[in-house]
Homo-oligomer: A and B are copies of this chain.
Amino acid sequence: MELLKQRILEEATTLPGDVLNTDSFMSHQVDVALMDAIGEEFFRLFCGVRPDKILTVESFGIPAAMATARCFGVPCIVARKQQTGRVLEDVYAAHVFSYVHKQDYQVLVSRLYLERGSRILVVDDFLSSGNALGGLLEIVAKAGAQLCGVGIVIEKAFQHGGDELRSRGVNLKSLCIIEGIEGGLTFREQPH
């Protein structure tokens, strides 16, 4: 997605630990027009799979997921994060290890909102090692729902989560794929 790539080149900064800081337009400050364009692009890429719901995880997956849900006219489910602890009986839960924060946490979705057999499109802002996304996919499977696609705004290919999911047959599409950060950003050319 050229608009997004240009924005990354103009505004994103890099931080130690291969972190790409997109705070100025994607998370801490959100450019809503860009999010709308991202939602429209995910609609174009996934309109064939007809999702019943969009699933993301708090907090910074919410803007892109909401914009996507608007285009499809479906609800947006926001999985909650909490420190590992007691799991309520009325939720689907998955454990995730965060490399950034060096600790375990859980992602939780109420059983009320993930219906068995429903078609779920997962949307998130970043895909690195794939741990957080793996938690969402585990929850979709536990609910007996059907994963019809995964839309990622920025994939960091050098952390390999994306290619691992593709090799497992997941219908994953990323709007920008970054091959490397050190020594200057490099992007993977994409067919779509």
**Which residues of A are in contact with B by a Cβ distance under 8 Å?**
23-24, 27-33, 35-36, 53, 58-60, 62-63, 66, 69-70, 73, 75-78, 80, 109-110, 112-113
Contact = CB atoms under 8 A, between A and B. Distances in A.
A35 B58 CA distance: 17
Does more than half of chain A's interface fall in helix, strand or loop, or is it mixed? Answer: mixed
Contact of A66 (B23, B28, B66, B75): B66
A132 B69 CA distance: 28
B63 A30 contact: no
Given A58-B59, A59-B59, A70-B36, A30 B75 contact: yes
14 contacts: A24-B113, A29-B77, A29-B78, A29-B112, A30-B66, A30-B69, A30-B76, A31-B75, A32-B76, A35-B66, A58-B60, A59-B59, A59-B62, A66-B66
A109 B75 CA distance: 29
A27 B77 CA distance: 8
Contact of A59 (B33, B78, B110, B113): B78
**Copies of this chain in its oligomeric complex:** 2
Given A27-B78, A59-B59, A63-B76, 12 more contacts: A28-B110, A28-B113, A29-B77, A29-B112, A30-B62, A30-B76, A30-B77, A31-B75, A33-B70, A36-B70, A58-B59, A59-B62
Contacts of A110: 23, 28-29
Given A58-B58, A59-B58, A29 B66 contact: no
Contacts of A23: 110, 112
A32 B113 contact: no
A32 B75 contact: yes
A159 B131 CA distance: 40
Nearest to A91: B28
